[in-house]
Amino acid sequence: MVLSLAIIALSACKESFKKGTEGLEYKVISSGKGDVVKHGQYMQLQIAQLYNNGKTDSVISDTRTSPQGAAFEVLDSANMPVSYYNILKLMKKGDSLVLRILVDSAFAKSPQGIPPFFKKGHYLYTTARLENIFATREGADSARTIAMEAAQSKQKVLADQQLIKDDKTLVDYFSKNNIQATKAPLGTYVQIITPGTGPNADTSVVVQTNYTGKTMDGKSFDSNTDPAFNHVAPFLVNMTGDPLLGQGVIPGWTDGLKLLNKGAKAKFYIPSSLAYGAQGAGQDIKPNAILVFDIEVVDILNRTQALAAQQVEQKKMEEMQKRYMDSMQKVNPQPQQPGGPQ
């Protein structure tokens, strides 16, 4: 649906693109009424970004599927590139806009160069529809709250629908492959490989884990046991919600860990709505992707143990950072200031 909306916007205006600055080209598809947006006013926009590889369009992002909903921007050349400002100031409420820029131009000033999944000579497109204009920040903030609540309600409905679809996919997969898995409260399926001992994890603990994450087709996208991913160390999963005890994880993890105890090894089959949802994550985790994790519960820590473990991890990070800075100093020594050390 998102892709079709974007394509409609791309094809709705048959006139040639006009030249902007800094490599931008644009079309304003005028269907709005009233005055154009003025400097300092706030714009409520629906924005989609796409990459065209010469044959097909791939959606990079779209506010229509974002939990935050519409984008809100102030028309101010001090807060946005002048090249975009000069185009946006041509729009009226109800107008649509199509922007395109060659990958070569978009990343011309990037120190990292062109990302590997983009190619020279191809276009990045942005489509935008100006839904509303607000004269004050207060008006824009009120509309932003309403838009976010509406987007989250919509996302909840879509996530519930996707969960039903994913559940059927997993049940069929288990039946076909003769897998015995237990469904956790939220919908994660847990296949116990090796039982553990003691009480199961709950919301009062931090769980020390080893893991490898894979897509349903078996492609690994992260691991803390495989050196190829550059972070070999037990991973602390904060089940409590207390930020002092470490970071949180996707809901599918905390859901599944409640069925495991110390020493347990298992596979988690996590529906997309309990993972990265319609947004996906990076190149390997596509939108609405079901994820599979090999999980080992190394230990279950109480609050005191978790704080101590956090301090150990923090110290390791600081030591790694210091070694990195020392190595950079050897490669690129700083010139001594006149007059000796300062």
| Distance (Å, whole) CA 251 – CA 245 | 17
Indicate which CATH number applies to the domain containing 274. 3.10.50.40
pLDDT of residue 232: 87
Does residue 124 share a domain with residue 38?
yes
336 domain residue, yes or no: no
- Are 49 and 279 spatial neighbours (Cβ–Cβ below 8 Å)? no
232 with 296, same domain: the answer is yes
316 and 323 Cβ atoms separated by less than 8 Å = no
Residues 86 and 214 in one domain: no
b (16+ CB within 10 A) / e for 237-264:
bbbbeeeebbeebbbbbbbbbbbbbbeb
Decide: residue 293, CB within 10 A, 0-12 exposed, 13-18 middle, 19+ buried. buried
- Report phi then psi at 38, rounded to 5: -105, 155
Cα end-to-end span (Å), the chain: 62
Is residue 334 domain-resident? no
Q: How far is CA 52 from CA 13, 22, 44, 100, 104, in A?
A: 18, 19, 26, 10, 13
Residue-level pLDDT at 5: 40
- In this predicted structure, what is the pLDDT of residue 135? 95
Q: Whole-model pTM?
A: 0.66
Residue 8 lies in a domain: yes
Pair (221, 131) in one structural domain: no
| Final residue of a structural domain among 135, 154, 176 | 135
Residue 210 lies in a domain: yes
What pLDDT, on a 0 to 100 scale, did the predictor assign at position 329?
A: 66
Residues 221 and 97 grouped into a single domain? no
168 and 300 within one domain: yes
Q: Is the CB of residue 309 less than 8 Å from the CB of residue 301? A: yes
Position 237 scores a pLDDT of 93
In this structure, the answer to whether residues 170 and 247 fall within a common structural domain is: yes
Q: Residue 25 pairs with which residues in a beta bridge?
A: 19, 100
Same structural domain, 233 and 187: yes
Long-range contact set of residues 119-123: C-beta below 8 Å, sequence gap at least 24: 119/53, 121/54, 122/51, 122/52, 122/53, 122/54, 123/51, 123/52
Q: Are residues 239 and 297 in the same domain?
A: yes
**Residues 9, 124 within the same domain:** yes
Range of the domain at 170: 162-306
> Would residue 233 count as lying in a domain?
yes
Of 117, 135, 153, at which residue does a domain stop?
Answer: 135
Residue 312 covered by a domain: no
Question: How many domains are there within the chain?
Answer: 2
Please list the pLDDT of the chain residue by residue as tens digits (342 residues): 333 344 444 444 456 899 999 999 999 998 777 899 999 999 999 999 999 988 888 888 888 888 788 999 999 998 899 999 999 999 999 999 999 999 999 888 888 888 878 899 999 999 999 999 999 999 999 999 999 999 889 888 988 999 999 999 999 999 999 999 999 999 999 999 999 999 999 999 999 999 999 999 999 999 999 999 988 888 999 999 888 887 789 999 999 999 999 999 999 999 999 999 888 887 789 889 999 999 999 999 998 998 888 788 777 777 767 776 776 666 565 544 433 333
**Is residue 106 one of the residues assigned to a domain?**
yes
| Same-domain check for residues 16 and 64 | yes
**Residue 282 shares a structural domain with residue 210:** yes
Q: Which contacts qualify for 228-233: CB closer than 8 Å, 24 or more apart?
A: 233/313, 233/316
| Residue 152 counted as domain residue | no
